[in-house]
């Protein structure tokens, strides 16, 4: 499990790409023309002050077993150690612009993960489900 800054924040918040399971973030976050999404955002003038952080919680057959809680704890620790969550000014600015006005809870992410692993989600394939507190809808 590791996090990498594509672009550090200049006080306007951070976009976090979170990835796990059987492939790398590099392989997962490519659009249809093969470009890497974090690098595409980095090139956009509208994102020049926004940090871009990619966190991989790589899990596979040989990677061992992790619970959702363990992955969330490792992500939280990585975000704190890499300076994403421990900047009060940047946090306040980000949350002021987030429609939900708060950080997501581990249980909210975990509930979706449990659903996606259940038989009820058997017809869901090849899609992105955003859990971003309304950020992309604003």
**Residue 35: its pLDDT value, please?**
80
Q: pLDDT digits over 20-31, tens only?
A: 655 566 666 777
Instruction: Please indicate, yes or no, whether the overall pTM of this predicted structure exceeds 0.95.
Output: no
SS3 per-residue string spanning 11-61:
CCCEEEEEEEECCCHHHHCECCCCCEHHHHHHHCHHHCCCEEEEEEEECCC
**Residue 59 confidence (pLDDT) above 70:** no
């Amino acid at each position: 499990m590791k996090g990498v800054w594509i672009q550090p924040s200049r006080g306007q918040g951070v976009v976090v790409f979170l990835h796990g399971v059987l492939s790398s973030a590099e392989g997962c976050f490519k659009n249809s023309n093969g470009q890497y999404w974090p690098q595409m955002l980095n090139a956009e003038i509208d994102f020049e002050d926004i940090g871009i952080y990619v966190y991989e919680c790589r899990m596979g057959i040989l990677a061992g077993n992790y619970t959702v809680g363990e992955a969330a704890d490792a992500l939280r620790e990585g975000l704190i150690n890499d300076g994403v969550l421990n900047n009060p000014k940047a946090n306040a600015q980000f949350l002021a612009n987030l429609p939900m006005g708060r950080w997501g809870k581990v249980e909210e992410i975990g509930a979706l993960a449990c659903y996606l692993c259940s038989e009820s989600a058997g017809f869901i394939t090849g899609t992105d489900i955003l859990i971003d507190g309304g950020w992309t809808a604003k």
